[in-house]
Amino acid sequence: MMTEKPKGMCDSAWESMSAFVMTLAHGGEDFYNGWMKNKKPAMISYNDGFRLVSFLIETLAEDTE
């Protein structure tokens, strides 16, 4: 389970999304009260100072073998 900031990622971007990553990693869903058809992803945006940056954060099935 990846819940740490990925190497090379902007600190501000990670700060904007880390709470959503942790929630998804622990089974959370439906962040937008039915606004999105799929309840599992989170759509996160932040301003890097020059342009809007958006991330679609989704969970992946972990191979347990």
| Per-domain boundaries in the chain | 9-44
Task: Specify the pLDDT at position 25.
Answer: 86
Q: Distance between CA atoms of 49 and 65, rounded to whole angstroms? A: 43
pLDDT in tens, 29-54: 888 787 888 888 888 888 777 888 88
Q: What is the mean pLDDT of the chain?
A: 83
**Unique residue bearing structure tokens 């999304």:** 17
Q: Which long-range contacts (CB under 8 A, 24 or more apart) does 15-20 make?
A: 16/44, 16/45, 16/46, 17/42, 17/44, 17/46, 17/55, 17/57, 20/44, 20/57
pLDDT at 61 over 80: no
Task: Specify the pLDDT at position 65.
Answer: 62
Instruction: Give strand ranges (E) for 1-65.
Output: 42-47, 52-57
> pLDDT band at 24, cuts 50/70/90?
confident
pLDDT at 1 over 70: no
Q: Are 13 and 20 in contact (CB under 8 A)?
A: no
Please give the model's pTM, rounded to 2 decimal places.
0.74
